[in-house]
Structure 1
C-alpha cells in the first residue's frame, strides 16, 4: 500500500483561503478556511510527489459547519482538483463533526502533481488535511489521540531543539504578550515571543480591529506605559476601520528596532506542550511549539515564562489552577455579582463593516442557519462590540462553534435584508466589505495567583503595598441583550453595564504570577481577578502596562536569582524602583503624545471624580458633547439612522 498525508494549511499558495489555528488545541493542527463573504475565493494550490503509479482513493478531513442548525444547504462547499481535474464529490457536506469525506478516486503516475482546493460558495468551507491511499479501505482516524498519533507518524513530527536558552519566554502575541517580550528585551533580558498567527496585536490587529482601551502613564507609577505607546497604532477611535489603521507591521517592526538584539519573535508557532523539571514538576523548563503552517515542532528552553495566550494554554498544561465564569455573591462578597455562580462569561465579538456602492450589489439568498423574518431581523449596516456570542459556552473548548454562530447569524440576517425584507431597497447597494475571520474574545480562563483582586479592591480604593500599574477603565460587564435572548434559543447580541471607578487602582503584583507554577507570569486575560474586577482591567492598554510590570519583575528575578514570588517576598523595593523609572524607549522611537480619544475619553475621565448617587463620572460639558456626537456617529454607522 502507498499513501500520502497532506496538511491543508501547508499549501504552497493558499489563494483566498485563510489559516485558522483557533481550534488547534482540539484538532491538533490548524486548517484552511474559505472566508469569502459569499463570494468564492481563489483556489489554494500546492504540489505533491507520488512515489508509485496507481489508483489513489482521495479523502479530505472536513465538516459542514452549518449542519448544527439543521436547516438548508451546507454553506461551506468545495471540491478537490488534481492536475486541474475536478474530483466528483462536493466536500463540506458530511455532517457537523470533523470527519474524513471521500472526494473521489484517480489514477496518478509517479512524480509531481498539483492539488487545489476549489471553493464553491465563499461561506467558510474548511479543510484540515487530504489523504491519498491506494487502499480503498484505508481511512485515517477521525480525531482524538488516534488522529494525533497518525498525524505525527505520517508527517514525521519530532521536536527540534532551539539552540538558545531564554531568560523569558512569552506565549501569545496580543498587546499584553507583545509588550511583555519587548519590555523585557529593553531591560536587557533575552526574550522570545511565540505567536500562533502571522500578525501581532490580538484584538488590536487587522484580523479583529478593536481599538485600544484604557490609559498609560497614570497612577502611582506614571512612567509605566512606554512600550505600550511604542507599539500602539495612531488610530484610537471606536469601531472597526480599514486594516492599515491597526499597523500590524509597526508591532513587528518593534522587534526589528531592538538595538541590543535581545528580543526574538516566532510567528505562526503555537505552544502545544510544556516540559517541567523532573525533580520539581511546578517548575517549567521548556515549551514545545507546533507551526501552524508546516506542522514542525520546536522545543524552546527558558528560565522564566509568561502566558499571554488568552486561554492559558501554557498555564493549564503546566497544571495551574484557574477560575471560569461568573462568581456568585457569596464567593468574594461583591455587590455586582449575581446570587449564584455560573459558567456565564463575556463573549466573543466578530466585528464587520459594510460599504455603500453606486449600483446594486447582490448577496446569496441563503437557506441555512437561523431563519430570519421581519419579526426577528436586525436592520444593521455593521457589527461592533454588541455583536457578541458564546456567553453560555466554553470559550476554549467550543471556540469554533462560538465564532461560527456569529458568522452564521450575521450572514443569515444580511441575506434576509438584501433579498426579502420590506426595506431591501435601502440595502440594495450595500455589501459587507469586511468581517473578522476569527473574532475577538473578552473573557476566558482566569488563573489564580497569590491574590485574587475583586470589585471590593477597586471600589474601596484598597492601596495594596504591592500595587503596580493602574486600572483606568470603568467596571464594564457585558450581558446577553434581553430581547435578543428571548427571541432566539442562543443570544448573539449583548448590552453593557458601566459603573465608574473612584480612582486609579493599582493591580497587586501577586495577581501577575501563578500560585502553583513557580516560574510562570500571567498576562492578558489570564491575570488573577474576579469576573467583576476583570471587567475593568481587561482593556488592552491596561493589560499592556501590566505586561511591562511582568517584564520588570522578570528582570528582578534574573538580577536576584529568585522566582516571581520571591520578588514579592524579598525584592519588591527593586521592582518599585523599576516601575518608577519605566521601560527604556529606543532612541529611534519618538514617543507620540496621547491620542485624542485617550485624551478626552480617558484622561479627562481620569480625574475620577466619582458621583455616588449617579454612579458615573462627572464630565465636562465639552466631553459630554463629544461623547454624544460619537454616539450619533456610531448609531449612523450601524443603523443608517
Structure 2
C-alpha cells in the first residue's frame, strides 16, 4: 500500500514539474469588419447561399486599392492561414487564368499562395504559415486583376486543425471564433418590423410611422432604394396619385429618383435624400447594413426577426406585433413557413447594367479569355453609352439558389462584350472607350411570391375585375421578359439578352387597382408583404412589380398596420371589419401624420400638401355627379385627345360642326352648380354655346374655350339651377357654328352651398 502511494505521489509531482503543453490559439477575421475596405466592395447579396457577406474587388479590369485592417492575435507564434474564397469562373471551366486573383499580406509579409484560384465553390484555401511576432498586426488584401476577386474571411490557427466547410449563417463555430454572445441584443418591441429598404419598404415604414406607430426598418445594404438605388440604378416607373385614392403615391413622390435614363448617374438616384427622409421620422428606427436571417415563431405568428450587422456580425433580435416582408424574395415569409409560389417556367431574370464613355486618349482593357466569347454581332450595341435593362439572365435558373451564379454570368457577359469592343472586331471604333460603371449588385425581377387571400391574375386585370378592396393603381403593362432569340446563338442554354413582351389590357392612365388582400399572408396572421413578393401570379407580376407601384403598396400596408395596432387585430381583419377605416386613411395626404393611433391628425410645420395636379383626373375623386364625355350622345365628327392636361378619365374630344348631349339625373331635389370641363388652347372656340335644362326651364351659356378653367381641376361654372330627383335633364353643346375647335370632356354637378 505504501509503495502504491509513493508511486502515485511521485507521478503527481512529476506531472506538476513537466512543462504544460500549449493550447491551440486561433483568430477569425471577417473581411467585412476590416477598418478600411479600400477599393473593395461589401457584397451582401448572397448571404443565404454562402453564409456571410464578403469583400469584392470590383475594379472593372483595374486592380483596386488594398483593403486593410489591424487585428490583435491572442499570442505570438506560428499560425496556419486559411482564406475563404472561390474561383468564380471555374464552374464553367472557363479558359485562361482565373480573373479573381488576390494576395494576402500579414504583418507586411505577403503570403505565397495566390488566392481565388482553386475551388468553384466557397471554400477555405490554405495559405501556408505565418510567424506573428507582435500581437497587433496589420492584414491587407491585395487585388491582382480588378476582375471581382472575393474574400469572405481569414482564419489563423496554431495547431493542425482546419476550419469547417459549412455555409450556415453565423454558425456556432463562427460565433465562438468571433467571441459573439449566444444571446442577441434585444431590440423592440416594435409595432411593425419592416424588412427590406427598397421602395416598398420605405413606403411601408414612412406611412406607418406617420400614422402613429413605432417602426423598425431593416436593410442589408448601406443605402436605401433597392433596385432604385445608386448601386443598381433602375429608374423608378409606374404612375402614382390616381384612381379612387389620389393621395396614395405622395410618399413615393417624396422618395423617388429623377433619373432620365436607366442606368442613370450616381447623383440622380439621391441615396442621401432617401435616407434623410426616413431618418426625419421620429417613429422609425433605421438599421442599415443589417441582414435578417432567422425568425422566432409563436405558434403560427412571427414573434421576432433576427438580423446581424454585416460589418461586425453583431446580432439583434427585433420583436414586434406585426411584420412586413419587403425583401423582394419573400425571405421572411419563407422563414416563417408561409405559403408561397415560384413560377414553374421561364422566369424574368436579373440585370446588371453598365455604362461607358469616350476619353480624350486611347484606353486599354485586359483581354478576358474567361469571359463569354463574344463578337460585336453577339449583343446589342450599347447606344447612348448604356448597357440597359435587357442585359439580363437567369430565365431558367433557380431564382434563389442560383442567384450568385446568375450575377457572375452577367459579369462574364458584360466583360465579354467589352472585350469584343476593345480587343476584337470593335477595337478600331472604340480605342478611347472605357467602362465607367458596372453594377455588381444585381437587379432581380422575380422569385418567391407569398400567397394572400387573393391571388391576382392576368385575367382579373384584363377583364378589369373589381374588388371591393382595390386600392393601389398599377399602370405598367403586363411586361414579361424572355430571352431574345437573336442573341441566343452562342449560349442557348443560358442567354444573357432579354426582350420585353408587353401585354394589353392595362389602363396606362387610370391603372388597375390591386386589392388589399394581396398584401398579407393567408397563413401567417401577422405578416404583411409589399413589393415583388405580393400575392399575384407570374403574369400579373408583370404589371405590379415596378418600383413606384411597389412603393404605393407600402403606403397602404403602413396605414393598415396602424389600424391593426389601433384595433388590436390582424391584417386580414382590416378587410373583414375595418376596410372603410383603411379607405379613409388612404384619402388623407401623404404628409398628414399623428403622434399615436388615437391622436389627432396634423401636418408638420414646413410640410405642404401637394397640389392635385395630374395628367388625368378620375371621376371617382370628385364629390358629386360626374358625366364623362364617353357617356355623351354626339353628332358629327369628334377627335379624341390627351394632350391638354389635366383631363377627366381616359381623355377628351374636340371638333366642330356637331353636337354633344350629356344626360343626367340627380338623386335628391335641390340646387346644384353645373360645371363644364374644358381645355384652354389657341385653336379652341371662343363662342361655344352650351344649354342646361333644369327644373325651371333651360338656360344658355357661351364659353370662351381659349381661356383657362377657373375651378380645379379643369372646370368652369355654367351656373346654379334647381333640379328634381328622378327627372331627366341634359347639358347640350352646340358646335355647329363655332370659330375654333369645341372641347368636350365632362360635366360635374355639385350641391350648391
Q: Aligned partners of 1:58 and 1:438: how far apart in 2?
A: 30
Q: Aligned partners of 2:285 and 2:293: how far apart in 1?
A: 19
Match of 1:346 among 345, 348, 352: 348
Shift, 1:594, TM fit: 9.9
Shift, 1:109, TM fit: 1.8
Match of 1:361 among 360, 363, 374: 363
Q: Aligned partners of 2:170 and 2:278: how far apart in 1?
A: 37
Residue number in structure 2 paired with 1:529: 536
Residue number in structure 2 paired with 1:403: 407
Shift, 1:483, TM fit: 2.1
Q: Aligned partners of 1:129 and 1:93: how far apart in 2?
A: 16
Residue number in structure 2 paired with 1:319: 337
- Secondary structure at 2:268's aligned position in 1? helix
Match of 2:459 among 448, 456, 459: 456
Q: Aligned partners of 2:616 and 2:552: how far apart in 1?
A: 15
Shift, 1:545, TM fit: 0.6
Q: Aligned partners of 1:593 and 1:87: how far apart in 2?
A: 64
244-253 vs 222-231, which deviates more?
222-231
1:509 aligns with 2:516: yes
- Secondary structure at 1:105's aligned position in 2? strand
Residue number in structure 2 paired with 1:167: 191
Q: Aligned partners of 2:465 and 2:356: how far apart in 1?
A: 45
Residue number in structure 2 paired with 1:413: 417
Match of 2:231 among 201, 207, 228: 207
- Secondary structure at 1:118's aligned position in 2? strand
Q: Aligned partners of 1:88 and 1:595: how far apart in 2?
A: 66
Q: Aligned partners of 1:86 and 1:291: how far apart in 2?
A: 30
Residue number in structure 2 paired with 1:479: 482
Q: CA-to-partner distance for each residue in 1:328-362, whole Å, 9 max, x for gaps?
A: xxxxxxxxxxxxxx332101110100011011100
Q: Taking structure 1 as reference, are residues 93 and 147 closer, same or farther at Cα in structure 2, changes over 3 Å only?
A: farther
Q: Aligned partners of 1:276 and 1:375: how far apart in 2?
A: 54
Shift, 1:480, TM fit: 0.8
139-148 vs 554-563, which deviates more?
139-148
Q: Aligned partners of 2:325 and 2:561: how far apart in 1?
A: 13
1:429-444 paired onto structure 2 within 5 Å: 429-444=432-447
Q: CA-to-partner distance for each residue in 1:183-218, whole Å, 9 max, x for gaps?
A: 111111111100001000001100000111011110
485-494 vs 576-585, which deviates more?
576-585
Kindly indicate whether the alpha-carbon contact (under 8 Å) linking 2:329 and 2:448 is maintained by their aligned counterparts in 1.
yes
TM-score between both structures, scaled by the size of structure 1: 0.88
1:519 aligns with 2:526: yes
Kindly indicate whether the alpha-carbon contact (under 8 Å) linking 2:232 and 2:352 is maintained by their aligned counterparts in 1.
yes
Higher helix share: 1
1:188 aligns with 2:190: no
1:285 aligns with 2:303: yes
Shift, 1:146, TM fit: 9.9
Shift, 1:582, TM fit: 4.0
Shift, 1:236, TM fit: 4.0
Kindly indicate whether the alpha-carbon contact (under 8 Å) linking 1:140 and 1:147 is maintained by their aligned counterparts in 2.
no
Q: Taking structure 1 as reference, are residues 118 and 589 closer, same or farther at Cα in structure 2, changes over 3 Å only?
A: farther
Match of 2:373 among 371, 374, 380: 371
Q: Aligned partners of 1:566 and 1:596: how far apart in 2?
A: 33
Residue number in structure 1 paired with 2:470: 467
Q: Aligned partners of 2:37 and 2:616: how far apart in 1?
A: 39
Kindly indicate whether the alpha-carbon contact (under 8 Å) linking 1:237 and 1:597 is maintained by their aligned counterparts in 2.
no
Residue number in structure 2 paired with 1:389: 393
Match of 1:240 among 254, 257, 263: 263
- Secondary structure at 2:171's aligned position in 1? helix
Residue number in structure 2 paired with 1:268: 289
Shift, 1:155, TM fit: 1.6
Q: Which has the higher contact order (CA 8 A, sep 6+)?
A: 1
Q: Aligned partners of 2:293 and 2:555: how far apart in 1?
A: 25
Residue number in structure 1 paired with 2:312: 294
Shift, 1:608, TM fit: 5.1
Q: Aligned partners of 1:161 and 1:147: how far apart in 2?
A: 15
Shift, 1:253, TM fit: 0.4
Q: Aligned partners of 2:531 and 2:105: how far apart in 1?
A: 43
Q: Taking structure 1 as reference, are residues 450 and 249 closer, same or farther at Cα in structure 2, changes over 3 Å only?
A: same
Kindly indicate whether the alpha-carbon contact (under 8 Å) linking 1:174 and 1:201 is maintained by their aligned counterparts in 2.
yes
Q: Taking structure 1 as reference, are residues 598 and 394 closer, same or farther at Cα in structure 2, changes over 3 Å only?
A: farther
1:62 aligns with 2:85: yes
Shift, 1:256, TM fit: 2.6
Q: Taking structure 1 as reference, are residues 597 and 609 closer, same or farther at Cα in structure 2, changes over 3 Å only?
A: closer
**Structure with the greater alpha carbon radius of gyration:** 2
Q: Aligned partners of 1:183 and 1:374: how far apart in 2?
A: 48
Q: Aligned partners of 2:613 and 2:428: how far apart in 1?
A: 39
Q: Aligned partners of 1:217 and 1:14: how far apart in 2?
A: 42
Q: Taking structure 1 as reference, are residues 161 and 73 closer, same or farther at Cα in structure 2, changes over 3 Å only?
A: same
Kindly indicate whether the alpha-carbon contact (under 8 Å) linking 1:464 and 1:508 is maintained by their aligned counterparts in 2.
yes
Q: Give the number of aligned pairs.
A: 585
Q: Aligned partners of 1:118 and 1:593: how far apart in 2?
A: 55
Q: Aligned partners of 2:569 and 2:409: how far apart in 1?
A: 46
Q: Aligned partners of 1:522 and 1:15: how far apart in 2?
A: 37
Residue number in structure 1 paired with 2:105: 81
1:101 aligns with 2:125: yes
Residue number in structure 2 paired with 1:428: 431
- Secondary structure at 1:424's aligned position in 2? coil
- Secondary structure at 1:371's aligned position in 2? coil
Shift, 1:153, TM fit: 1.9
Kindly indicate whether the alpha-carbon contact (under 8 Å) linking 2:241 and 2:614 is maintained by their aligned counterparts in 1.
no
Residue number in structure 1 paired with 2:735: none
Shift, 1:95, TM fit: 2.1
Shift, 1:569, TM fit: 1.0
Shift, 1:605, TM fit: 12
Q: Taking structure 1 as reference, are residues 162 and 582 closer, same or farther at Cα in structure 2, changes over 3 Å only?
A: farther
Shift, 1:148, TM fit: 2.3
Residue number in structure 2 paired with 1:626: none
Q: Aligned partners of 1:374 and 1:543: how far apart in 2?
A: 37
Shift, 1:604, TM fit: 8.8
Kindly indicate whether the alpha-carbon contact (under 8 Å) linking 2:205 and 2:217 is maintained by their aligned counterparts in 1.
yes
Shift, 1:145, TM fit: 4.3
1:554 aligns with 2:561: yes
Residue number in structure 1 paired with 2:745: none
Q: Aligned partners of 2:60 and 2:607: how far apart in 1?
A: 39
Q: Aligned partners of 1:439 and 1:66: how far apart in 2?
A: 17
Q: Taking structure 1 as reference, are residues 552 and 146 closer, same or farther at Cα in structure 2, changes over 3 Å only?
A: closer
Residue number in structure 2 paired with 1:628: none
Structure 1 unmatched ranges of 5 or more:
326-341, 611-641
Q: CA-to-partner distance for each residue in 1:589-613, whole Å, 9 max, x for gaps?
A: 4577899999999x99996579xxx
Shift, 1:499, TM fit: 2.5
Q: CA-to-partner distance for each residue in 1:357-385, whole Å, 9 max, x for gaps?
A: 01110000121132224653554343111
Shift, 1:287, TM fit: 0.7
Q: CA-to-partner distance for each residue in 1:400-437, whole Å, 9 max, x for gaps?
A: 1111110111012211220121x312111010100111
Structure 2 unmatched ranges of 5 or more:
1-23, 593-603, 618-641, 653-753
